[in-house]
């Protein structure tokens, strides 16, 4: 049966119903079909030609390997396949498929190279090719970096076309009609006389054929689905309480678990006393996890209560106990030996800033938690033969390897079933909670155990968004920005995150400078120096990663320079811009917001731009300084992703990204006292409230030459655009997030 | 203890202080109401008890004894949608969707009391519900179109 057991196959094919007769298609050009994970486990009469389309008697299943954290990834992947396959979205099921190197992420590698995303030179493209090959080699099935659409755009359409043409070939064989006379529509092959053969009825015949691999993609002018408003595949389930998330899974015989770990994340446990907890109703056992305890019980609430009743003796945190020390470490990190990259050094900032009026500033951005609304959880069942894990994760392949190391099973006996996630924002790039669930399940072999993190536990053990500090200097002349020298420091997110996976990606961490050095401005003297601070609290990728802090530094101080020059914030940015696609995005928000028109007293408008993950986004924020505080009235956003594949989802993701970016800039920070997170729950980590949500107007442009993602890029410009607007309305320059430390919001 | 949920009567054997949420989810397998914060802050666990909106994570099950509990599953189903759910689907509100059971139960309760709300009234009714994905603009639009469906202005 190969690497997938029958149980797994049933799970991702058709629930618990047995399959007989089916066929799987996909795009798989670079290796033999033996690498197709669907092929390894098909029953009699089924065939798996390629890994993305699976047709069985009762269903057409599209395999969508990029995880869905709420960003609509399943839907957009399905849409790309369906466009060429000629099925409608209400005819298909989607399934994330098993962990497999086949589903490696090409686009992630494409941006992991030290070239500007706007750089299409031969050298840059060659380097991207090398990185892509490496990614293929490692087989990183990762969802992240806003790569889902870029990675899938061609691959999945080709998969759909291959499946369609092979089904036509089968129909031609069965009916004797030449292929050229056949057409396809709504999941059927249609003969010249109007007779219809459903794809399902052709599955078995198709399974015996060599796939038609020589396909041509349709002319975009013929597209039925791409670029049109479609209904998301999960929208009904998500509006009726019937969408199952990881936390909702239930098996007969299942036990429920909670953990309580050292609130000083990463610190050890000197001892514990579980005598009270062990006698509490429903408690099965209390397990020593080394850095804390786990409770297995017959109900989640009982497990929570018992975990709280255990008396634990905690050790110190493996990082400085208080915030002052964290900031001091950053402040001390701007040294020659910490210099990590200086990819941008145009003109001569040193000479230019050695005399005359020099503007200086220091900017700060805090730690942040990911805190998706669904706390982390996993259901795990361990037997001698295999381990089954049901969870929402962005890194199923890492999970497989790591769990194998914990349990001693072979990696192919670790079965990861990826479930829908109630948000992530990067949270589910970590798999630590799964390790805990596995270790608990190992003590009750044969029984599924569902571990749910209490919200407080999730907050205190998040791997945070980086803390960051910037020091900037610059000058202006003749009403123009002349020199900009930006130094930034943060601990390395990559070292922290990949370190937990036992990987090292080299000492240069591009994240420290990303969103700062790679912006498309032509400033005569222009330098960005990135300093790697020593490790502090553990970090992980947070929606838009390095750009989430660097855009605030870069665009905040650029705004200061423009004001010092007496120039217009939008006009001067446009004058400096040296990338056409980016320029048009800025022009678009200028147009949308009627930039330059009079807003009246007490009101102000700020603009910010950021190019991240290859997607240029410009935002204009309008605020009013009211007696009750700063009120955000309207936000205008223009973004260029090359092609808007799914316009409704695009609009929703952009608006959500703006709310996310503004909300955290306004109100959110994670701080430490005595090594412990000060914010136990959402009431101490309030983003934007419903009543504070402004009207948000969105325009998607399609001038870019490559397909780009939109999950993260709207986040970076939001904070600086708000800060710049507050300056315009009040004259107060905010150099530190969250802004609520300095101003009140209405 | 006897509990009526979505018209079905259940016998449950639990501590009186167990929050209604965990009885629904872990004992009865009714998972529409979600666990988000556990402290009555986010609204993800919102259900109705005798038609009144409550946060089930912070509502002792004993207080629900002898009442009629309605969860999102009892509001409407994929085949028989409530008007608020219809509006939520038409506006394609959900991103991750995790908060939406609570948002919909809150909106439906609110619209029952006020079928033609003003923008300020909508803001006030919905501001105690958290959406980490930031779907607020679409929730606003969906409430307005639901109000129209329900016969308000
Ligand atoms: S889970 Fe009940 S209000 Fe958040
Ligand atoms: S849709 Fe994700 S929390 Fe609201």
**Per-residue model confidence (pLDDT) at position A179:** 96
Chain A touched by B62 (CB under 8 Å)? no
Ligand 2 lined by B104 (C-beta under 6 Å): no
CA angle A302, A305, A306 (to 5 degrees): 85
Please give the residue of chain A at the shortest CA–CA distance from B122: A691
CA angle A742, A743, A746 (to 5 degrees): 155
Interface of B with A in 108-137 (CB under 8 A): 123-124, 126-127, 129-137
Ligand positioned closest to the Cα atom of B131: 2
CB pair distance less than 8 Å for B77 and A234: no
| Average pLDDT of adjacent 10-residue blocks, chain A of 746 residues | 28 23 39 46 48 78 79 85 92 78 56 56 50 44 66 84 91 95 96 94 82 87 94 94 96 97 97 98 98 98 98 98 98 98 97 97 98 98 97 91 97 92 93 97 98 98 98 98 98 94 87 96 98 97 96 98 98 97 98 97 97 96 98 98 94 98 98 98 97 98 91 97 98 98 98
Instruction: Assign domain B2-74 to its CATH architecture.
Output: Roll (3.10)
Q: Taking CB atoms and an 8 Å cutoff, what residues of chain A touch B102?
A: none
CB pair distance less than 8 Å for A693 and B137: yes
B119-126 and B136-149 are packed helices; what angle lies between their axes, rounded to 10 degrees?
120
Task: Give the residue among A688, A689, A710, A687 at the shortest CA–CA distance from A700.
Answer: A710
- In this structure, what are the phi and psi dihedrals at residue B114, rounded to the nearest 5 degrees? -140, 95
Q: Please enumerate in sequence order all residues whose Cβ is within 8 A of that of A197, keeping only pairs 6 or more positions apart, or say none.
A: A171, A174, A175, A188, A189, A190, A191
**Per-residue model confidence (pLDDT) at position A97:** 73
> What are the structural domains, with CATH classification, of chain A?
3-105+141-240 (3.30.365.10), 246-317+376-452 (3.30.365.10), 323-368+463-741 (3.30.365.10)
Chain A touched by B6 (CB under 8 Å)? no
Please give the residue of chain B at the shortest CA–CA distance from A419: B96
Predicted complex ipTM: 0.98
Ligand 2 lined by B132 (C-beta under 6 Å): yes
Q: Which residues of A570-597 are buried (b: 16+ CB within 10 A; e: fewer)?
A: bebbeebbebebbbbbbbbbbebbebee
Task: Name which of A239, A299, A452 is nearest B85 (Cβ-Cβ).
Answer: A239
Q: Taking CB atoms and an 8 Å cutoff, what residues of chain A touch B93?
A: 239
Q: What is the mean pLDDT of residues B42-49?
A: 98
**Per-residue model confidence (pLDDT) at position A26:** 37
CB pair distance less than 8 Å for B31 and A244: yes
Q: Taking CB atoms and an 8 Å cutoff, what residues of chain A touch B123?
A: 690-691
Task: Name which of A239, A658, A688 is nearest B88 (Cβ-Cβ).
Answer: A239
**Per-residue model confidence (pLDDT) at position A223:** 95
CA distance B113 to chain A (A): 20
| 8 Å CB contact between B32 and B73 | yes
**Per-residue model confidence (pLDDT) at position A11:** 24
Ranges of CATH 1.10.150.120 domains, chain B:
83-149
Distance CA A528, CA A655 (A): 30
**Per-residue model confidence (pLDDT) at position A101:** 59
CB pair distance less than 8 Å for A242 and B33: no
Strands A414-418 and A387-391, how do they pair? parallel
ω before A738 within 30° of 0 (cis)? Answer: yes
Strands A359-365 and A468-477, how do they pair? antiparallel
Reply yes or no on whether the pLDDT at B9 is more than 50: yes
Fold of B83-149: DNA polymerase; domain 1 (1.10.150)
Please give the structure tokens belonging to residue A463.
């791997």
Q: What is the DSSP string of A466-519?
A: PPEEEEEEEEEETTEEEEEEEEEEEE-HHHHHHHTTT----S--GGGTTTTTT-
Distance from chain centroid for Cα A227: 22
Ligand 1 lined by B87 (C-beta under 6 Å): no
CA dihedral A23, A26, A30, A32 (to 10 degrees): -10
pLDDT tens digits, one per residue of A111-135: 444 556 666 555 554 455 444 434 4
Cα(A694) to centroid(ligand 2), Å: 18
**Per-residue model confidence (pLDDT) at position A396:** 87
Using 50, 70 and 90 to split pLDDT, how confident is the model at B16? very high
Ligand 2 lined by B97 (C-beta under 6 Å): yes
pLDDT tens digits, one per residue of A306-316: 999 999 999 99
Ranges of CATH 3.10.20.30 domains, chain B:
2-74
pLDDT tens digits, one per residue of B62-111: 999 999 999 999 999 999 999 999 999 999 999 999 999 999 999 999 99
Q: Under DSSP, is residue A277 helix (H, G, I), strand (E, B) or coil?
A: helix
Cα(B133) to centroid(ligand 2), Å: 4
């Amino acid at each position: 049966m190969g690497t997938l057991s029958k149980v797994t196959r049933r799970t991702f094919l058709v629930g618990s119903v047995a399959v007989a007769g089916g066929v799987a298609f996909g795009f798989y050009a670079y290796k033999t079909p033996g690498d197709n994970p669907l092929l390894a486990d098909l029953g009699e009469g089924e065939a798996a030609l390629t890994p993305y389309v699976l047709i069985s008697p009762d269903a057409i299943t599209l395999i969508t390997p990029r995880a869905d954290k709420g960003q609509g990834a399943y839907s957009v992947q399905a849409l790309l396949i369906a466009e060429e396959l000629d099925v409608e979205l209400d005819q298909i099921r989607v399934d994330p498929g098993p962990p497999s190197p086949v589903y490696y992420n090409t686009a992630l590698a494409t941006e992991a190279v030290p070239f500007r995303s706007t750089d299409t030179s031969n050298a840059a493209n060659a380097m991207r090719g090398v990185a892509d090959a490496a990614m293929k080699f490692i087989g990183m099935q990762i969802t992240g970096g806003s790569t889902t659409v870029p990675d899938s755009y061609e691959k999945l359409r080709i998969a759909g076309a291959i499946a369609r043409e092979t089904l036509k070939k089968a129909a031609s064989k069965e009916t004797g009609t030449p292929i050229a006379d056949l057409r396809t529509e709504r999941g059927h092959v249609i003969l010249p006389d109007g007779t219809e053969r459903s794809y399902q009825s052709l599955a078995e015949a198709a399974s015996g054929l060599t796939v038609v691999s020589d396909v041509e993609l349709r002319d975009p002018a013929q597209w039925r689905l791409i670029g049109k408003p479609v209904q998301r595949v999960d929208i009904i389930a998500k509006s009726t309480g019937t969408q199952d998330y990881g936390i909702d899974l239930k098996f007969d015989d299942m036990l429920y678990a909670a953990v309580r770990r050292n609130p000083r994340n990463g610190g050890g446990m000197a001892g514990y006393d579980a005598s009270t907890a062990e006698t509490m109703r429903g408690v099965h056992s209390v397990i020593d996890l080394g850095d804390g305890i786990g409770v297995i019980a017959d109900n989640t609430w009982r497990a929570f209560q018992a975990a709280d009743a255990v008396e634990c003796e905690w050790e110190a945190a493996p990082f400085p106990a208080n915030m002052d020390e964290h900031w001091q470490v950053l402040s001390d990190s701007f040294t020659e030996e910490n210099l990590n990259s200086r990819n941008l050094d145009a003109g001569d900032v040193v000479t230019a800033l050695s005399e005359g009026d020099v503007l200086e500033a220091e900017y700060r951005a805090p730690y942040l938690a990911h805190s998706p609304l669904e706390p982390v959880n996993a259901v795990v069942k361990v037997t001698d033969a295999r381990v089954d894990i049901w969870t929402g994760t962005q890194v199923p392949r890492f999970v497989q390897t790591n769990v194998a190391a914990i349990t001693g099973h072979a990696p192919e006996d670790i079965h990861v079933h990826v479930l829908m996630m109630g948000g992530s924002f990067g949270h589910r790039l970590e798999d630590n909670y799964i390790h805990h669930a596995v270790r608990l399940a190992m003590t009750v072999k044969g029984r599924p155990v569902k571990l749910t993190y209490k919200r407080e536990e999730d907050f205190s053990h998040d791997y945070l968004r980086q803390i960051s500090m910037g020091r900037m200097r610059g000058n202006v002349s003749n009403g123009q920005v002349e020199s900009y020298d930006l130094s930034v420091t943060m601990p390395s997110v990559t070292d922290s995150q990949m370190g937990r996976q036992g990987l090292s990606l080299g000492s240069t961490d591009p994240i420290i400078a990303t969103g700062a050095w790679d912006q498309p401005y032509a400033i005569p003297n222009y330098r960005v120096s990135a300093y790697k601070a020593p490790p502090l609290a553990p970090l992980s990728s947070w929606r838009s990663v390095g750009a989430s802090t660097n855009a605030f530094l870069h665009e905040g101080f650029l705004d200061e320079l423009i004001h010092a020059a007496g120039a217009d914030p939008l006009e001067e940015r446009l004058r400096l811009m040296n990338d056409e696609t980016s320029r048009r995005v800025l022009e678009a928000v200028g147009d949308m917001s009627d930039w330059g028109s009079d807003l009246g007293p007490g009101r102000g408008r700020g603009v910010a731009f950021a190019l991240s993950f290859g997607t240029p986004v410009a935002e204009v924020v309008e605020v009013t300084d009211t007696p009750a505080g700063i009120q955000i009235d309207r936000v205008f956003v223009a973004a260029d992703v090359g092609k808007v594949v799914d316009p409704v989802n695009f609009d929703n993701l952009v608006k959500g990204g703006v709310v996310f970016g503004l909300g955290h800039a306004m109100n959110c920070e994670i701080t430490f006292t005595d090594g412990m997170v000060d914010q136990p729950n959402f009431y101490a980590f309030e983003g934007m409230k419903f009543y504070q949500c402004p009207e948000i107007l969105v325009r998607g442009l399609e001038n870019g030459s490559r397909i780009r993602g939109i999950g993260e890029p709207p986040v970076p410009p939001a904070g600086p655009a708000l800060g710049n607007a507050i300056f315009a309305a009040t004259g107060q320059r905010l150099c530190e997030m969250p802004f609520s430390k300095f101003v009140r919001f209405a | 203890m006897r509990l009526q949920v979505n018209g079905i009567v259940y016998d449950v054997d639990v501590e009186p202080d167990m929050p209604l949420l965990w009885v629904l989810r872990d004992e009865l397998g009714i998972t529409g109401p979600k666990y988000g914060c556990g402290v009555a802050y986010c609204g993800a666990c919102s259900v109705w008890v005798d038609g009144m909106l409550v946060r089930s994570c912070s509502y002792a099950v004993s207080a629900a004894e002898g009442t009629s509990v309605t969860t999102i599953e009892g509001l409407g189903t994929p085949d028989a949608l409530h008007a608020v759910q219809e509006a939520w689907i038409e506006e394609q509100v959900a991103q991750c969707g995790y908060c939406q059971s609570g948002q919909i139960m809150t909106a439906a309760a609110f619209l029952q009391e006020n079928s033609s709300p003003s923008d300020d009234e909508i803001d006030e009714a919905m501001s105690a519900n958290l959406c980490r994905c930031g779907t607020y603009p679409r929730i606003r639009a969906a409430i307005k179109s639901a109000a129209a469906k329900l016969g308000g202005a």
